[in-house]
Amino acid sequence: MSNTAKPHLSVDEIIAQETRLTLRRFTHDDAWKLGSLLVEMAHLREAPVAIDIRRNGQQLFHAALAGSSADNDAWIDRKRRVVERYGESSYLVGARHRAKDTSFEDSSRLDPDRYAAHGGSFPIRVEGAGVIGSVTVSGLPQAEDHAMVVEALERFTT
């Protein structure tokens, strides 16, 4: 986890991250670069994660590192669906529910086998186009999955 990441971010802090990490563009090559950066970060941390990047419904990047399993791919799908449905990070959607002293599972009326508002899936938002995809990490506690994606996007945009 990055030094600036906190295990429990407020709704406002997550919104600020999403606003700050709006991209000017996002190409197939960008997906490869961002995915490769995440793989490098995971290797350095010996993080047993799976990584997925999608744009407009197309999977552009996927990696499953040592220690990850097919369960991580299922978590990726469930978290990604939250981003696709709400246009916000899976962590933000869950945080909004927690801030209201409820849970996503109890309040959303969505199938928990298909949707999970747990940290780790982040919208790929492009200026002038809105949310066009997602980048997702699964394998760590949800705050760390989220923090890894945010850190990678911060590095990617500089």
Which CATH number is 137's domain given?
Answer: 3.30.450.150
| Sheet of strand 121-126: strand arrangement | 58-64, 50-55, 130-138, 121-126
> Would you say 71 and 101 are in contact if contact means Cβ atoms under 8 Å apart?
no
Residue 38 lies in a domain: yes
Residue type, position 6, single letter: K
Q: CA-CA distance, 104 to 96, in Å (whole number)?
A: 9
Q: Walk along the chain (158 residues) in steps of 10 and give the mean pLDDT of each run.
A: 57 95 97 98 97 97 98 98 97 94 91 96 97 98 97 95
Residue 103 lies in a domain: yes
Q: CA-CA distance, 5 to 151, in Å (whole number)?
A: 8
Burial of 15: CB neighbours in 10 Å, binned 0-12, 13-18, 19+: middle
Residue 1 lies in a domain: no
Task: Output the pLDDT for position 3.
Answer: 39
Domain count, the chain: 1
Residue 105 lies in a domain: yes
Domain assignment of residue 29, given as a range:
11-156
Residue 69 lies in a domain: yes
Residue 5 lies in a domain: no
Task: Output the pLDDT for position 134.
Answer: 98
Q: Which positions ≥6 away from 69 have C-beta within 8 Å?
A: none
Task: Output the pLDDT for position 2.
Answer: 41
Helices 90-99, 142-156: inter-axial angle, 10-degree rounding: 130
Residue 2 lies in a domain: no
Q: State phi, psi for 140 to the nearest 5 degrees.
A: -110, 175
Task: Output the pLDDT for position 158.
Answer: 84
Residue 72 lies in a domain: yes
